[in-house]
Amino acid sequence: MPRELRTVASDAPLELLLLLREALAGAGPALLPVPGGTAQRLPTATVPRRVAVVIETSGSTDAPKRVMLGTDALLSSAAATTVALGGAGQWLLALPAHYIAGVQVLVRSIAAETTPLVLAGGHFEPAAFRAEAERLSEPLRFTSLVPAQLERLVAAAADDRRLLAVMRRFTGILVGGQSTSAGLLARAEELDLRVLRTYGSSETSGGCVYNGHAIGDTVVRAVDGLLEISGSVLAVGYLGDADRTAERFGREHGVRWYRTGDLGEVTPGNGLVRVLGRQDNVIISGGEKVSLDAVERVVRALPGLAEAVAVAADDDRWGQVPVIVVPTEPGSTWRPLSATAPDPLDAARMATAAALGPAARPARLVYVAAIPLLASGKPDRKRLARLAAAAKK
């Protein structure tokens, strides 16, 4: 029997929490959370009865999709997180509630029977985060962030003892949504912060791999260099897109698998998962495959380039080439290099050539006031590619 799907604004998370509790209990319609300014009713939309939430993906690297998540998958994910973090507690919501990471903060709060605190929307400010975090009252305290938010908090904590103290009180700080640089993780560890790197997607009800290890009943394998995931956290499929559902979800010997589209490897024996980048974020430069995610990882390890983003640009000679976009706004990790320091483009070209081969060398660096972000906190790579192309003209 089908179930009504109701579009709801996500800019009032505590109101959404009440509707979400009803949806999970089967007492209300399934929910499609959207940003407040775009909330529109879908009068004829229905979903399978077991679906509780539909998440519209950001489309940071491909076309947006509407992912149908069942009650069992959402609660299985929340239960696995509780075990992985050592118990249930109170959450601080610092992410948009129309993305899976934000929805899961609400689901975990419902499962834990605690009331989350909510950071006001808009530009992320460490001072506002500190003020809300100081109001957390439960013994176990958690939050979920994207790397850009953690970067700002770590930088601010160096001069703000109150912020550092409240961050140290978190039982766990989940960081995901995109790759987190080794340098940022090292700085967080030096501050004695309990950061857990998460990997997952809307199709897996959010993070299902913490610090490289699958949680709950999740199993991860690599097939021809691409990661596939099974377990109770998997989505039902894509709303109104049976072809894409069949392409991404399949069965093998009775086990349902999700084909992620992420390049990666799984270490035999301990099952350690290593994500190498998106399959669709690979370019052909001079006839050679180049992973822009790999270029980005190498460049971000260089001094002054920790927030760099690698994008593709057309090139008359090579077809496509990597281009590095670097933010220069106040408070970013970029600083003008001294006269004796290596030129940043030369340093990036040498490092990428040594690690990945000559084809991975970036053609140029493009400086922007700030890295444009999607509402999820991920870099807006499509817009960055346009900026990089315009900078050449």
Q: What is the pLDDT along the chain (393 residues), one digit of tens a residue?
A: 799 999 998 989 999 999 999 999 999 999 999 987 555 555 568 999 999 999 998 655 556 789 999 999 999 999 999 999 999 999 999 999 999 999 999 999 999 999 999 998 777 899 999 999 999 999 999 999 988 899 899 999 989 999 999 999 999 999 987 778 788 899 999 999 999 999 999 999 999 999 999 999 999 999 999 999 999 999 999 999 999 999 999 999 999 999 998 989 999 989 999 988 888 888 888 878 888 988 998 998 888 888 889 998 888 788 889 999 998 754 444 444 444 456 889 999 999 999 999 999 999 999 888 888 776 667 888 888 888 888 765
Instruction: Please classify residue 37 by burial: count the beta carbons closer than 10 Å to its beta carbon, then call 0-12 exposed, 13-18 middle and 19+ buried.
Output: exposed
Quote the pTM value: 0.81
CA dihedral 251, 257, 260, 261 (to 10 degrees): -30
What local confidence, expressed as pLDDT, does residue 184 receive? 87
Q: In the beta sheet, which residues pair with residue 377?
A: none
Domain architecture of the chain: domains with CATH: 3-274 (3.40.50.12780), 286-392 (3.30.300.30)
Residue 316 is predicted with a pLDDT of 77
Residue 231, Ramachandran bin (φ over 0: left; ψ between -120 and 50: alpha; else beta): left
- The pLDDT value recorded for residue 43 is 53
Other Cβ atoms within 10 Å of 230 Cβ, number: 19
CA–CA separation, 238 and 54 (whole Å): 9
d(CA 81, CA 226): 24
CB 300, CB 274: distance < 8 Å? no
